[in-house]
């Protein structure tokens, strides 16, 4: 498994900290005369159904202030994970599902989903979007509507969020996994530096040795 290490000192481990980079502890109260007025902030969490990282949503919700109200569209994936995480961490949740009653074709259903997305944006003070790698679908519609409204939109890419967890899971499933981080490169990897080429050659040589030993044992 070969991973890239981004220019500027980032590493595969940096992906696990993306939530901490996107969230800053917000004020939860402000002075009003001699009193402190609690600020109730609505945070929308939406995302693509192709995502497979519920732990990302759990970390996001866990980092939000206690008086945050989570706004969800009720769809499978990040929307549902957000509702589950809100209950787990004791935050209020408001689910805004689409009204599909009477919708007779796909065009009508799409318009109903877009109307639901607008309701989410109207309610929210901020949007966190767990986007798909291809950047298509209803999540993108919500992002555009939020941008038109002028509220903050925080994009959580799938690749940055899941790279480290994926490698760790592969290691658990395949203990013989060999991983190597290519320094100072982003995608696409050039695989030209000496360190990387030596790592690849070492892996191939070891694989050839193990294959030869297995062949001798079978013979």
DSSP letter for each residue of 167-214: HHHHHHH-TT---EEETT--SSP---SHHHHHHHHHHHHHHHHHHHHH
- Looking at the domain assignment, is residue 69 inside a domain? yes
Averaged pLDDT of the chain? 77
pLDDT at 29 over 80: no
CATH code where residue 111 lies: 3.40.50.450
pLDDT at 132 over 90: no
Instruction: Please report the pLDDT score of residue 112 as a whole number.
Output: 95
Cα 104–Cα 120–Cα 88 angle in degrees, nearest 5: 110
Instruction: Please report the pLDDT score of residue 5 as a whole number.
Output: 41
Instruction: Please report the pLDDT score of residue 12 as a whole number.
Output: 33
pLDDT band at residue 136, thresholds of 50, 70 and 90?
Answer: confident
pLDDT band at residue 118, thresholds of 50, 70 and 90?
Answer: very high
Instruction: Please report the pLDDT score of residue 125 as a whole number.
Output: 94
- Looking at the domain assignment, is residue 168 inside a domain? no
State how many domains the chain has. Answer: 1
- Looking at the domain assignment, is residue 29 inside a domain? yes
Q: Give the C-alpha separation, 20 to 93, whole Å.
A: 22
Instruction: Please report the pLDDT score of residue 119 as a whole number.
Output: 97
* Both tokens assigned to 125: 């003070």
Domain that holds residue 106: 16-160
Q: Give the C-alpha separation, 36 to 17, whole Å.
A: 32
- Looking at the domain assignment, is residue 58 inside a domain? yes
H-assigned helices in the chain:
18-22, 54-62, 78-89, 106-123, 138-149, 158-173, 194-218
Mean pLDDT of 157-170: 65
pTM beyond cutoff 0.75: no
Q: Give the C-alpha separation, 55 to 156, whole Å.
A: 13
- Looking at the domain assignment, is residue 179 inside a domain? no
Instruction: Please report the pLDDT score of residue 10 as a whole number.
Output: 35
pLDDT at 208 over 50: yes
- Cβ burial 74-98 (10 Å sphere, 16+ → b, else e): ebebbbbbbbbbbeeeebebebbeb
Among the residue ranges 11-20, 30-39, 113-122, 148-157, the one predicted with the least confidence is 11-20
Instruction: Please report the pLDDT score of residue 134 as a whole number.
Output: 81
- Looking at the domain assignment, is residue 207 inside a domain? no
- Looking at the domain assignment, is residue 141 inside a domain? yes
pLDDT band at residue 4, thresholds of 50, 70 and 90?
Answer: very low
The residue among 78 and 18 whose pLDDT is bigger is 78
Token pair 């991983």 is found at 179
Strands in 6-98 per DSSP E:
29-32, 35-38, 42-47, 69-72, 92-95
- Looking at the domain assignment, is residue 187 inside a domain? no
Mean pLDDT of 48-61: 91
Identify the three-state secondary structure at position 84.
helix
């Amino acid at each position: 498994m070969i991973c890239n290490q981004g220019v500027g000192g980032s590493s595969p481990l940096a992906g696990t900290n993306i939530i901490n980079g996107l969230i800053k502890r917000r004020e939860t109260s402000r002075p009003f005369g001699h009193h402190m007025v609690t600020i109730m902030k609505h945070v929308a969490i939406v995302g693509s159904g192709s995502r497979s990282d519920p732990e990302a949503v759990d970390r996001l919700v866990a980092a939000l202030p206690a008086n945050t109200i989570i706004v969800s569209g009720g769809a499978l994936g990040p929307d549902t994970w957000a509702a589950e995480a809100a209950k787990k961490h004791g935050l209020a949740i408001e689910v805004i599902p689409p009204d599909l009653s009477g919708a007779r074709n796909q065009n009508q259903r799409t318009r109903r989903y877009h109307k639901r997305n607008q309701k989410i944006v109207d309610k929210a003070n901020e949007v966190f979007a767990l986007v798909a790698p291809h950047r298509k679908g209803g999540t993108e519609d919500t992002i555009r509507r939020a941008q038109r409204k002028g509220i903050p939109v925080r994009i959580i890419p799938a690749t940055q969020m899941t790279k480290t967890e994926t490698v760790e899971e592969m290691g658990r499933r395949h203990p013989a996994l060999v991983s190597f981080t290519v320094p100072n490169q982003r995608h696409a990897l050039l695989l030209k530096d000496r360190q990387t080429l030596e790592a690849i050659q070492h892996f191939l040589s070891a694989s050839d040795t193990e294959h030869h030993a297995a062949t001798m044992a079978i013979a």
